[in-house]
Amino acid sequence: MRLIGTILPIAIPIFAVSASGQTTKVPTIAAAVDFEISAIEKQVVEAAEAMPEEKFDWSPETWNLPGANYQGVRTFAFEVKHIAASNYALWSPLTGDQFPEDFIGGNGPESVKTKAEIIQFLKDSFALGHKAAATLTTQNMLRTTGKGTSSRLHRALFAVEHAFDHYGQMVEYLRMNGIVPPASRDGQANSELPPERIVLI
């Protein structure tokens, strides 16, 4: 019964009857934010799935490129885990979920190591994002959460902005390994590029 009481206030405003008698969608802040979360989720998850498991621990530091300084940069795996852990940090105050202590530090739990585990961690973090988006209303979106000064809307959208930032780094890592990011394939049958055709844009 409590679940129904939670869902109805979110679901009811989505539809309205127009003058012609047709049912039309009415924009809501929850739906708008959820759309943005879905957009970055698709790109990040597909990029993570595109990297071969044996390359998950790769970073450009291993190349020792002349004139470059990649010392200490995150591996591909840690880029993905950082997005996921940050998603939890930003969205959990909106949902009321407890932020796990082993996520503190920005790289997620050390126990999450394999490609399958990391991608599941990532997907679970975006599931929390959809849950967070569903809590937003025009009445509460500018309210703060806990001891922070950021509004609920800012937290929800900053997680999207942050994920896009690190998605850009994931794209570079894919390109540097001769892999065309899924979002850039445009129907290409072969996602692998010969080493001499690696591009960085």
Give residue 101's pLDDT band: very low, low, confident or very high (50, 70, 90): confident
Helical H segments across 20-111, by residue range? 29-50, 76-95
Which three-class secondary structure state does DSSP give residue 23?
strand
What is the pLDDT, as a whole number, of residue 68? Answer: 85
Give residue 187's pLDDT band: very low, low, confident or very high (50, 70, 90): low
d(CA 100, CA 9): 29
What is the pLDDT, as a whole number, of residue 3? Answer: 40
d(CA 194, CA 60): 18
Among 75-79, 85-89, 193-197, whose mean pLDDT is lowest? 193-197
Instruction: List pLDDT tens digits, range 116-162.
Output: 999 999 999 999 999 999 999 999 999 998 777 899 999 999 999 99
Helix (H) or strand (E) holding 15: strand 15-17
Round the average pLDDT of the chain to a whole number and report it.
84
Structure tokens that stand for 31 in this block:
């739906």
Structure tokens that stand for 82 in this block:
């950082």
Residues contacting 40, CB < 8 A, separation 6+ = 160, 163, 164, 167
Helical H segments across the chain, by residue range? 2-11, 29-50, 76-95, 115-133, 152-176
Give the mean model confidence (pLDDT) for residues 39-49: 97
Q: Indicate the pairing of strand 15-17 with strand 23-25.
A: antiparallel
- Inter-CA distances, 166 with 56, 105, 118, 161, Å: 15, 16, 15, 9
Structure tokens that stand for 19 in this block:
């003058």
What is the pLDDT, as a whole number, of residue 157? Answer: 97
Among 16-20, 47-51, 52-56, whose mean pLDDT is lowest? 16-20
Bridge partners (DSSP) listed for residue 17: 23
d(CA 143, CA 127): 22
DSSP string for residues in 83-94: HHHHHHHHHHHH
What is the pLDDT, as a whole number, of residue 139? Answer: 95
Residues contacting 140, CB < 8 A, separation 6+ = 152
On the question of pLDDT at 196 being above 60, the answer is: no
